[in-house]
Homo-oligomer: A and B are copies of this chain.
């Protein structure tokens, strides 16, 4: 059976080019970049080149890059080590953030720091005005995600960052860019103090993330030890992961058809419009929605049941973020204020540049068919 993979927000299949990178790594570039001989400094040079590639794609010449092991570690590092932590300081965080951000702020709250969680609208969007209102003279750090991993909501982080700085020029701004990097364009990164990214959402390997940070911005190491990554992240670098990350970023910048995800999203949504009783959880305003994630609720059907019936047809989707899928009812559904029925029926479909029209039409037709079948049982 041919598989139709529509869970690209959870992870992506490595690009074919990563296979060549693997071979080069395993045969030629496996040395420890901290060693002193030329074979090792060659590896270190390639790590430095990878940083430049990543920062170019971010669109900044004033940020720096430190490699980590994943998006979660990146966010932990920024939130727990990225801003002055003084007794009187407070924090501001989006109310529908990825758990790696939310849990980090909850950790700070447990340490006694005041944290304001900003309530998003029912699609996951947060406005610059809401954020500005929460910031005061004692705010150390504000964190709002660029693209919401569950709903696909796209926050205007440039305006949000500017609003933060207008209220308090000393407050630091972080955006979790894991779902947005190389997919959504930024025109002005100057107010974004920290931006965190992950390789495996971009068709590179699992096991590599990065923090982009502005020079002179507070940032201390979270993993302590030998002082790799300019003293900011100890542990021998995952050089295979770093090289693959850079190759995938280059692919996205130079070769990938970046319009394809939006194209198949529109085709998919159009095809779904014939399904009765579905509620779009993704923002309808295209300015507020990313192109590669759709979240919709099939009322009267349990998302997980639908997921498993689609799986029988070779179609892979998600009920929410895979990062919290095993934890029962989506934390985010609560934050968005969805009804029980909306939350229960929510499914996430996510696209890549390789997703085809045929695939999304098949998926939409199957969702329609299975929804009708399943409703016969649940709505008796």
Q: Which residues of A contact B (CB under 8 A)?
A: 3, 7, 10-14, 18-19, 22-23, 25-26, 30-32, 34-40, 68-73, 75-76, 98-101, 103-104, 107, 198, 200, 205-209, 223-228, 234-241, 304, 307-308, 311, 316, 318-319, 321-327
Output the residue of A227, A238, A311 with the most chain B CB within 10 A. Answer: A238
Copy count, this protein chain: 2
Q: How far is the CA of A70 from the CA of B208 in the complex (A)?
A: 12
Chain B residues within an 8 Å CB radius of A225: 72, 75-76, 98-101, 103-104, 323
Chain B residues within an 8 Å CB radius of A240: 205-207
Contact A30 B7 (CB under 8 A): no
Q: How far is the CA of A14 from the CA of B30 in the complex (A)?
A: 7
Chain B residues within an 8 Å CB radius of A325: 34-36
A200 CB to nearest chain B CB (Å): 6
**Smallest CB gap from A101: residue in B:** B225
Contact B30 A224 (CB under 8 A): no
Instruction: Using known A-B contacts A207-B240, A238-B206, A241-B238, determine if residue A14 contacts B26 with beta carbons closer than 8 Å.
Output: yes
**Smallest CB gap from A70: residue in B:** B235
Contact B235 A205 (CB under 8 A): no
Contact B69 A304 (CB under 8 A): no
Chain B residues within an 8 Å CB radius of A30: 11-14, 206
Q: How far is the CA of A55 from the CA of B121 in the complex (A)?
A: 47
Chain B residues within an 8 Å CB radius of A238: 69-70, 205-207, 238, 241
Q: How far is the CA of A19 from the CA of B31 in the complex (A)?
A: 17
Contact B11 A326 (CB under 8 A): no
**Smallest CB gap from A205: residue in B:** B240
Chain B residues within an 8 Å CB radius of A235: 69-73, 100, 209
A225 CB to nearest chain B CB (Å): 3
- Which single member of B26, B322, B323, B327 contacts A13 (CB below 8 Å)? B26
Output the residue of A22, A101, A318 with the most chain B CB within 10 A. Answer: A22
Instruction: Using known A-B contacts A14-B26, A35-B7, determine if residue A234 contacts B19 with beta carbons closer than 8 Å.
Output: no
Chain B residues within an 8 Å CB radius of A34: 10, 322-323, 325-326
Chain B residues within an 8 Å CB radius of A209: 235
Chain B residues within an 8 Å CB radius of A107: 224
Given pairs A10-B31, A14-B26, A69-B207, 19 additional interface contacts (CB within 8 A): A7-B37, A10-B32, A18-B26, A30-B206, A36-B325, A37-B308, A38-B311, A69-B238, A70-B236, A73-B223, A76-B223, A100-B225, A198-B236, A206-B240, A207-B237, A227-B326, A228-B323, A236-B323, A238-B241
Chain B residues within an 8 Å CB radius of A68: 69
Q: How far is the CA of A71 from the CA of B35 in the complex (A)?
A: 17
- Which single member of B3, B22, B32, B72 contacts A22 (CB below 8 Å)? B22
Contact B226 A311 (CB under 8 A): no
Contact B36 A307 (CB under 8 A): yes
**Smallest CB gap from A307: residue in B:** B36
Chain B residues within an 8 Å CB radius of A228: 323
Q: How far is the CA of A130 from the CA of B290 in the complex (A)?
A: 61
Chain B residues within an 8 Å CB radius of A207: 69, 207-208, 237-238, 240-241
Chain B residues within an 8 Å CB radius of A39: 3, 316
Q: How far is the CA of A208 from the CA of B69 in the complex (A)?
A: 9
A149 CB to nearest chain B CB (Å): 10
